[in-house]
Structure 1
Amino acid sequence: MKRQPFNDSLILRWLARCMLLLIVWLPDIPARAQLEVFDESPGDKDMFRSSTLVNMQTVQTGVPGSWEFHIRHRFGYVKADQSLIRNFLGTDGVANIRFSFQFPLGSRGMLGIARTKSGKTYEMEGKYRFLDQSTDNRRPFALAVYVNVACMSDDFPPVSQFAYFGDGRQRFTYELAHRFSYSSQLILARKFKERFRALLIPSFQYYNLVTPGYQNHRLGLAAGGSVALSTKASVVAEYHYRFGRKPENGLFPATLGIEFGTVGHSFSVFVSSSQALNTQQLEWSTPYDYTNGEFLIGFNLRRTFWKKAKNEKG
């Protein structure tokens, strides 16, 4: 087993301060009318209908004066044969699900909390968009940063009493720090004409504890896009490449689906090759062999709630 050098107590204190800031600051954000702050046909500042494409982050951070509830659900594994019907599109299989709440910080920032079924994982995430694409193309793309800290709360798997850390000297015992993993991402987005929007995301993931033979860190590069079919529907696609050690089957996670959106919500349904629901898990997962007809069906749901202004009654 390999151990990490990060100081998790500092990270936890930083997260506590961020949450305190969120609780104190959010109630003072003025409410705005829905149609004034969100256009069903996104412009340069509203390139995408949600803060996520499918698994990829977008440059969206939500609307000031609101908060968002997200559900990400992945049904069980199926194959393009009779099991597709026998397992009823994968709904009979083991599913994975993630619930999250996101709170805009001004017009460019966001803080969120989440819980994922896999590993009984609790997460805190933050995003900040510091560059918007300009209509005159002087700024040809939008730019944002995203960070995620996850804590696995499930039971650790049993290990032999003769297990040692990677140095081969100290006998291995589980520690609180081993439950944590981290992700940081640089999000580049560009709108091409009126219908096509593209995403490119280099990312860095770090697990405090990995199995022997694996590195604690991993670099990834994700690419995705959205093609508008109308003001309320788009085709979405993603592909996640990782550097270094590749999945056992030599394939990388891929997704193809369709997204629907209105002022207050968005909904997407898709086929994907991975059940992972955060970037750390996604970059460490071995996807299903989609070249052999293996896949799963999933959906994402985002619902936006607007807060009432202080002088608004009822």
Structure 2
Amino acid sequence: MKKKIIYILLSLLVCANVFAQDTEENVSVGPAFENGTLIDAQTSFIPDVKSLEFIIQHKFGPIDNGDADFDLFGIYAPGANIRLALNYVPARNVQIGMGITKSSDCVDFNGKWTILEQTENNKIPFFVTVFANTAITYESKDDLGSLMDYDNPSSRFDYRLSDRFSYFAQVFVGRKFTNALSVQGGVSFSHDNLVDAWHDHDRVALHLDGRLKFSGQSSFIFNFGAPLRIDKISEQHPDWTAANPPHPDWKGPYNPKPSLKFGVEISTFTHAFQIYVGNANAILPQFDMMNNYNKPFDGLAFGFTITRLWMY
């Protein structure tokens, strides 16, 4: 009987040791990025459960805005945009949040879920994350005068609640190659319920983001987003020409330009500060992918992102 008990105990110890080794081999490599926001993009990083995060995203006016007065490289220039946001982590690898943005006059609600985490033994060689938001503009009907000609009865419309909504959904895959280098790529879908008559309501885009650390707390960072022209979902008619425009203000086919931002990040355990330059004034991703008129190195402006994390 004693031998059986000893045999069972030894078997349990061996099984426990094997399980512990297997668990250790499958542990996550750790965060690929220092925080969940990389300039304007989302990353796979989600803090511990019950963490609260406050974010300030600010973009100044264009560096070259044609103003004869000195405006300190756009810092004093008009056209600044700002977003204030709060994120909360109710469960492991799940984050919810909301924010308010100046330029587009809207409130957004968002959620993020890191489905897969990269493991040290490379059984899972990458991370997979999904992100989505819904934005609701609080612009008045008068604020949309440039969008619709209200003096022309034929173009009059009822500004309904649904017209205030826009949406963004993204899935991205990435890898922490070394402690210094992390890269992610993704695909997104944007939809805006109310757009100019000659613009598309839907836009698919490709994304590439990365971070390269050059010291313990400092990194080079970048965002790149490329909106795609997909004829099957485009509402721009191929017969539209200068002689046959869809609208008097039509200036030719509209295709949003790629968005490029690059800068430096300084981070600690609970703080991150990012300063960068970029060619897009929008902060919410759906407006970035649908409404950017600037080529990658045109219309550059300075911006910064600050995050503060509290863990309870």
TM-score range, shorter chain: 0.7 to 0.9
Instruction: Label 1:250 to 1:181 Cα distance change in 2 as closer, same or farther (>3 A).
Output: closer
1:261 corresponds in structure 2 to 267
Alignment of 1:128 onto 2:133: no
Q: Distance in 2 between matches of 1:99 and 1:258?
A: 21
Alignment of 1:181 onto 2:166: yes
The letter of the residue matching 1:112 is G
Q: Distance in 2 between matches of 1:118 and 1:289?
A: 20
Instruction: Label 1:247 to 1:148 Cα distance change in 2 as closer, same or farther (>3 A).
Output: farther
Q: Distance in 1 between matches of 2:76 and 2:195?
A: 31
Q: Distance in 2 between matches of 1:61 and 1:220?
A: 24
Query: Aligned to 1:298, which of 279, 286, 303?
Result: 303
CA contact under 8 A between 1:224 and 1:239: conserved in structure 2?
yes
Q: Distance in 2 between matches of 1:238 and 1:150?
A: 21
Q: Distance in 2 between matches of 1:164 and 1:57?
A: 42
Partner of 2:84, secondary structure, is strand
2:285 corresponds in structure 1 to 279
Q: Distance in 1 between matches of 2:204 and 2:308?
A: 32
Instruction: Label 1:217 to 1:306 Cα distance change in 2 as closer, same or farther (>3 A).
Output: same
Deviations 1:253-286 (A, max 9, x none): 1011000100110010001111110111101122
Alignment of 1:160 onto 2:165: no
Q: Distance in 1 between matches of 2:256 and 2:103?
A: 23
Q: Distance in 2 between matches of 1:177 and 1:80?
A: 35
Q: Distance in 1 between matches of 2:198 and 2:73?
A: 36
1:208 corresponds in structure 2 to 193
1:91 positional shift: 1.7
Partner of 2:289, secondary structure, is helix
Deviations 1:158-199 (A, max 9, x none): 33354557xxxxx52211110000111102121112211001
What is the TM-score when the length of structure 2 is the normalising length? 0.77
1:215-254 paired onto structure 2 within 5 Å: 215-244=200-229, 251-254=257-260
* Length, aligned pairs only: 258
Partner of 2:287, secondary structure, is helix
What is the TM-score when the length of structure 1 is the normalising length? 0.76
Q: Distance in 2 between matches of 1:47 and 1:225?
A: 10
1:289 positional shift: 4.2
Mark the runs of 5 or more structure 2 residues left unpaired by the alignment: 1-27, 235-251
Q: Distance in 1 between matches of 2:59 and 2:268?
A: 23
Q: Distance in 2 between matches of 1:44 and 1:82?
A: 49
The letter of the residue matching 2:307 is R
Report percent identity of matched pairs: 26
1:87 corresponds in structure 2 to 71
C-alpha RMSD over aligned residues: 2.3
1:305 positional shift: 1.4
More RCO (CA 8 Å, sep 6+): 1
Instruction: Label 1:229 to 1:239 Cα distance change in 2 as closer, same or farther (>3 A).
Output: same
Structure with max Cα Rg: 2
Q: Distance in 2 between matches of 1:102 and 1:259?
A: 20
Instruction: Label 1:191 to 1:163 Cα distance change in 2 as closer, same or farther (>3 A).
Output: farther
Q: Distance in 2 between matches of 1:254 and 1:229?
A: 21
1:248 positional shift: 5.6
Instruction: Label 1:161 to 1:173 Cα distance change in 2 as closer, same or farther (>3 A).
Output: farther
Q: Distance in 2 between matches of 1:237 and 1:281?
A: 18
Query: Aligned to 1:198, which of 180, 183, 188?
Result: 183
Partner of 2:300, secondary structure, is strand
Deviations 1:58-97 (A, max 9, x none): 01122223200000000011129996x8111212122100
1:287 positional shift: 4.2
1:8 corresponds in structure 2 to none
Partner of 1:90, secondary structure, is coil
Q: Distance in 2 between matches of 1:260 and 1:160?
A: 49
Deviations 1:276-312 (A, max 9, x none): 10111101122434545x31000000001133xxxxx
Q: Distance in 2 between matches of 1:247 and 1:270?
A: 31
The letter of the residue matching 2:262 is L
Q: Distance in 2 between matches of 1:82 and 1:249?
A: 28
